[in-house]
Structure formats: structure tokens, C-alpha cells
């Protein structure tokens, strides 16, 4: 720790005569001491306020690295302290709490930067989308004109059709990129929120101990809210029928008869059961492909998020997933291979099932 110079006791009480600025600061200190002791003290001028702040500045500290020797060995707690001018409340800081706050600040700055990047990227994608849509309209107009023109070259029309198809795919890709931007920022926001919340329990204990906030049971289980379709139906009908002049009119009971379902049921044939099984397999293959594509598209995002979580855990002195950055990289190389392999298999299965 590298502290800013801290005044000795005799300096605070004005016995040091090293220079005029120290004398002025000491006079401000005496004025505050007199006021605390109940003696009348003249109101501070702007100059007096500056002198008092100069005295406070002598009590502030900065760090060139920190360790457990710079903090209390006991719990974080609010205590009586002095800022060099008056008696006030100070916070006894622990090393874990300090590290958690540092991690929260780092996460917040990272999130702010990423949000700014996402905003800029989204604006660029929106401008690109507008340009693509304009070009699509142009191509459609040209194709319509070519179809209405006798003797138009088929090659030109075919080329425009191909370009139009690519432009329409670009629109879909543009929308997908914007969706991924939103998901990415939401994920990073959740990660940052998790880092913030790690500092809250110790601060909460500190403020509860000081009786600034009431104790709170975080493990309380709220009662299950039972809902009834009939009751909600009646309530909704009353809300719809209510007006300034007319009282709510009770609705007729909701008809919940399901006898028609039982009457229409019949045993399925073997062919129908086979079709159901094939549809179930097809549906499973489709969702497997969707999940594999999503995992492949998010692989870099997931890797960066896990890396940030590990860094936050390391700063807080908590266990990390891997013992070193090299182990992290090796594990993620294997994971990337598994993700790619799963995508290939899912695509092959879906291609075979959807024939």
C-alpha cells in the first residue's frame, strides 16, 4: 500500500509551524474541534472550506497493490473515525470485500464498453439492412421490367435472380446478428450482475450490524400462488364489464365440459403410431440441429464469458474452473471440437430425416 501523507497528532492540533498553509489548515481544524465540543465557531468561508478539505486530503490513501495487511482482520464494520476535520463514520474494509468491489467495478466498466460497442454495431447493422432492402426493391423492379420487355436477355434476369436471393439471405443474416447482439449483451449483463451481487452479502451484514437496515431472511419461501381458470375468467369478465356508471355484471360460469374429447377419441392404428414416432424423431432432430447451431454460433461468446468469470473468481480469491490459462485454453480447444462435431452430426441427421 502506498498511503498519501497522514498527519501526526500534534500537526492536527496546530503545533506544527512548518509553513503558512499548514497553519491555515490547523486553524480550520481548531474551528471544527471547537464546534464539535459545543463552542461557538464562526461559519466557514469558501477559503475555510478549502482549508478543511486540504486537511481531509492528508488523511486519504492510495494503493500500489494491496494485501491482507492493509485491511482489518475482523469483519467489515462501520466504526467511529475521523476525516482529519471532524468525527464521522468510517468503514473497516476486509481484503475479500475490497477485491469483490474491485471486481464489480471492472465488470461494470467492461459491460459499459461492450454496450457501447453493441449500440454502434446495431446502428451499423440497421443502416446495412436499409441499404440491402433498398437494393432488393431495385432488383425486384428491374426483374419486373425485364419480364415485361420482349427480347430481354435471359442471362441478365438469371443473374439478378441470383443476386436477389443472396440479398434476401443477407437480410436474414442481418436480423440474426442483431438478435445475437441482444443475447450477447444480456448474457454479459447477467455475468456482471453476478459479480456485483457477490459484494452485497458482506455489505449487508455490515449495515445490518450498524442497524442502518433491518435484518432480512433470504431463505424465506413464499407461499405457492394457486390460480383457477374459472376464478380468473370471472375476474377478467368483471373488469371488462366495469364502467364508471355500471357495476360489474357477474359472468356466467365458464363451460369446462370436455366430454367431446373423450367421445372423439379412438385407438390409433399401427400406421398412425408409426407416423407419430417418426414425427417425434423428426422434431427431436430439428431441435438438436437448432441447439447445435446456437452452440456453434455462441462458442466465442461463451468462451469469453467463462474467461471473465474465472478472472473475477481469481480476483476474489475464489476457486476457478482451471488451474491456469493454459488449462483453460486446452479445455476450450476440445470443447470447440466437440461443438463442431455435434453440429456436423446434427446437420447430417436432419438432412436424412427431412428427405
Find out whether 180 and 297 touch, Cβ atoms under 8 Å. Answer: yes
Q: 3-class DSSP state for residue 350? A: helix
pLDDT at 167: 93
DSSP track, 41-67: -PPP-HHHHHHHHHHHHTT-EE-SS--
| 8-state DSSP, 38 | T
Could you tell me if 52 and 124 lie in one domain? no
Q: What is the pLDDT of residue 28?
A: 40
Closest CA to 188 of 278, 108, 90: 108
* Rounded CA separation 77/84 (Å): 20
d(CA 251, CA 241): 9
Residue 269 forms part of a structural domain: no
Q: Which of 160, 185, 209 is the last residue of a domain?
A: 209
Same domain (yes/no): 61, 163: no
With respect to residue 230, please indicate whether it lies within any of the assigned structural domains: no
Helical H runs in 210-298?
Answer: 229-241, 259-264, 270-297
> Scanning the structure block, which residue is given the C-alpha cell 430481354?
152
- Evaluate whether 111 touches 184 at the Cβ level (below 8 Å): no
CA angle 317, 319, 320 (to 5 degrees): 110
- Confirm if 26 and 42 have CB atoms less than 8 A apart: no
- The residue range of the domain holding 121 is 97-209
Which pLDDT score is estimated for 22? 41
Whether residue 48 lies inside any domain: the answer is yes
Same domain, 105 and 198: yes
167 and 205 share one domain: yes
Q: What does the pLDDT read at residue 16?
A: 34
Angle of helix 95-147 versus helix 154-209 axis, rounded to 10: 160
Question: What is the mean pLDDT, run by run of 10 residues, along the chain of 355 residues?
Answer: 42 36 40 37 62 92 92 95 94 94 93 93 93 92 83 78 92 90 88 90 94 92 85 82 60 71 71 85 88 88 85 81 86 90 88 76
- What's the domain count of the chain? 3
78 and 119 inside one domain = no
Residue 118 lies in a domain: yes
Q: Please name the residue that has the C-alpha cell 461559519.
A: 43
**Rounded to an integer, what distance in angstroms lies between the CA atom of residue 337 and that of residue 147?**
49
Q: Which of 47, 76, 93 delimits the end of a domain? A: 93
Residues 103 and 203 in one domain: yes
Cα 53 from Cα 70, distance rounded (Å): 24
The C-alpha cell 463442431 sits at 340
Amino acid at each position: 500500500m502506498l498511503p498519501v501523507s497522514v498527519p501526526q497528532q500534534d500537526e492536527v492540533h496546530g503545533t506544527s509551524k512548518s509553513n503558512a498553509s499548514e497553519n491555515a489548515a490547523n486553524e480550520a481544524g481548531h474551528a471544527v474541534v471547537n464546534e464539535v465540543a459545543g463552542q461557538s465557531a464562526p461559519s466557514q468561508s469558501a477559503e475555510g472550506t478549502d482549508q478543511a478539505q486540504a486537511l481531509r486530503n492528508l488523511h486519504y490513501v492510495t494503493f500500489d497493490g494491496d494485501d491482507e495487511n492493509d485491511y482489518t482482520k475482523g469483519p467489515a464494520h462501520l466504526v467511529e473515525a475521523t476525516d482529519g476535520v471532524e468525527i464521522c463514520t468510517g468503514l473497516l474494509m476486509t481484503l475479500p470485500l475490497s477485491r469483490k468491489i474491485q471486481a464489480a467495478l471492472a465488470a461494470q466498466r467492461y459491460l459499459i464498453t461492450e454496450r457501447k460497442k453493441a449500440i454502434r454495431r446495431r446502428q451499423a447493422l440497421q443502416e446495412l439492412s436499409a441499404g440491402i432492402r433498398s437494393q432488393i426493391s431495385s432488383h425486384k423492379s428491374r426483374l419486373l421490367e425485364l419480364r415485361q420487355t420482349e427480347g430481354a436477355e435471359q442471362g441478365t434476369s438469371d443473374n439478378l435472380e441470383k443476386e436477389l436471393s443472396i440479398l434476401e439471405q443477407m437480410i436474414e443474416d442481418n436480423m440474426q446478428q442483431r438478435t445475437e447482439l441482444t443475447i450477447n449483451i444480456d448474457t454479459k449483463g447477467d455475468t456482471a450482475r453476478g459479480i456485483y451481487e457477490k459484494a452485497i452479502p458482506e455489505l449487508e451484514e455490515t449495515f445490518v450490524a450498524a442497524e442502518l437496515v433491518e435484518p432480512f431472511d433470504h431463505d424465506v419461501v413464499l407461499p405457492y400462488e394457486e390460480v383457477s381458470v374459472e376464478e380468473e375468467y370471472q375476474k377478467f369478465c368483471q373488469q371488462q364489464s366495469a364502467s364508471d356508471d355500471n357495476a360489474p355484471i357477474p359472468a356466467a360460469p365458464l363451460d369446462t365440459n370436455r366430454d367431446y374429447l373423450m367421445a372423439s377419441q379412438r385407438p390409433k392404428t399401427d400406421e398412425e403410431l408409426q407416423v407419430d414416432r417418426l414425427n417425434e424423431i423428426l422434431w427431436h432432430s430439428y431441435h438438436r440441429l437448432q441447439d447445435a447451431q446456437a452452440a456453434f454460433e455462441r462458442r466465442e461468446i461463451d468462451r469469453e464469458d467463462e474467461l471473465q468469470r474465472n478472472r473475477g473468481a481469481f480476483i476474489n480469491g475464489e476457486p476457478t474452473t482451471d488451474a491456469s490459462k493454459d488449462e483453460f485454453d486446452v479445455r476450450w480447444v476440445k470443447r470447440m471440437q466437440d461443438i463442431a462435431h455435434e453440429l456436423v452430426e446434427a446437420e447430417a441427421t436432419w438432412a436424412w430425416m427431412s428427405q
